Amino acid sequence: MAYDRIPIGRFSLITLLSQKALRLYDERGLPVPKAKDLCSGYRYYSGAQIARGVSIKTRCGLGFPLHEIEILLDAKERRDTATIRRLFERRRKEIRSEVKRLQQIEAILENEEASLELIYMSLTEPVIKEVASQRIVGKRGTGPYGETISRLMPALCSQILSEENQNVKVTGPFMTLYYDSEYREKDATMECAAPVT
């Protein structure tokens, strides 16, 4: 095997990038194969492209999306450390937010009573029961049911996961409270809420 004519399968093994990913990267102009067979379309890479392939794989492992990997590679070539730092800081914030979300899920699952209620919850048979008072964080709105809940729930999650609410912990399943005494098609009043400490 020539060092400047590495078949896609071998290049995939060396860089740990799948052949499917390499074909996608070729379309995006990341590591474009050094040569392509005109008859078969088979791709060949050079040894000099290995470092770039490994670099892409490393950034994928860090969770960067493909468009940001392109920006990072370009910034590296231009020695644009400000762009690299900015993207790394954004990724760190995303990771912290995801860790916090997973910790909240873990806390719900650790509370055996709350997690069992999630499993055994009935969607067809309403049950009326007395519950102890609890502290909640909620977002209230008016409109059609599905549309309003779809708007309120992400806003509620963003509020709970915001930097200023780092000490807030979700202690049970999310819920929707309905304030109308009868069904309303377009102007129902409801509140998406989560019990918290």
pLDDT digit string (tens) for 99-113?
A: 988 888 888 778 777
Alpha-carbon distance of 75 to 19, in angstroms, equals 26
Residues 121, 185: one domain? yes
Distance of CA 165 to the CA centre of its chain: 20
Residues 116 and 172 in one domain: yes
Is residue 121 located within the same domain as residue 187? yes
Average pLDDT of the chain is 85
Q: What's the pLDDT tens digit per position in 153-173?
A: 988 988 888 877 778 888 888
Helix-strand-coil split of the chain, %, nearest 5: 55, 15, 30
Provide the CATH number for the domain around residue 35.
1.10.1660.10
Angle among Cα 153, 102, 61 to the nearest 5 degrees reads 115
- Residue 93 confidence (pLDDT): 92
* Claim to verify: residue 65 and residue 121 sit in the same structural domain: no
Please tell me whether residues 123 and 49 are part of one structural domain: no
Task: Determine the structural domain holding residue 154 and report its residue range.
Answer: 112-195
Q: Please give the biggest Cα pair distance in the chain.
A: 77
SS3 call for 124 = coil
- Reading the block at residue 38, the tokens are 């005109």
How many structural domains compose the chain?
2
User: What CA–CA distance (Å, rounded) separates 21 from 8?
Assistant: 11
Amino acid, single-letter form, for residue 97: S
Asked if residue 103 belongs to a domain, the reply is no
How far apart CA 167 and CA 103 sit, in angstroms, is 12
Average pLDDT over every residue of 94-100 = 90
Angle (nearest 5°) at CA 55 between 91 and 90: 10
Please state, for a pLDDT cut of 70, what percent of the chain lies above it.
Answer: 91
In-domain check, residue 96: no
| Domain-embedded: residue 84 | no
The helix/strand/coil state of 144 is coil
Domain-ending residue, one of 79, 102, 134:
79
Instruction: Give the Cβ contact number of residue 96 at 10 Å.
Output: 13
Residue 161 resides in a domain: yes
Sequence-ordered list of residues with C-beta below 8 angstroms from that of 172, at least 6 positions apart, any chain: 108, 111, 114, 117, 134, 194, 195
In a domain, 1, yes or no: no
In a domain, 57, yes or no: yes
How many angstroms separate the CA atoms of 44 and 182, rounded? 68
Residue 63 — left, alpha, or beta (φ > 0 → left; ψ -120 to 50 → alpha)?
Answer: left
- 125-148 mean pLDDT: 86
Q: Does the residue 101 lie in any domain?
A: no
Of 62, 79, 96, which residue is a domain's last?
A: 79
- Indicate if the pLDDT at residue 1 is higher than 60: no
The residue out of 79, 95, 123 marking a domain boundary is 79
pLDDT-derived band at 52 (thresholds 50, 70, 90) equals confident
The whole-number pLDDT of residue 139 equals: 93
Query: Does the residue 53 lie in any domain?
Result: yes
In the chain, the N- to C-terminal Cα span, in Å, equals 63
Q: Same structural domain for residues 134 and 176?
A: yes
Asked whether residue 116 carries a pLDDT value surpassing 90, the answer given is: no
pLDDT of amino acid 59: 92
Judgement on whether residues 67 and 141 belong to the same structural domain of the protein: no
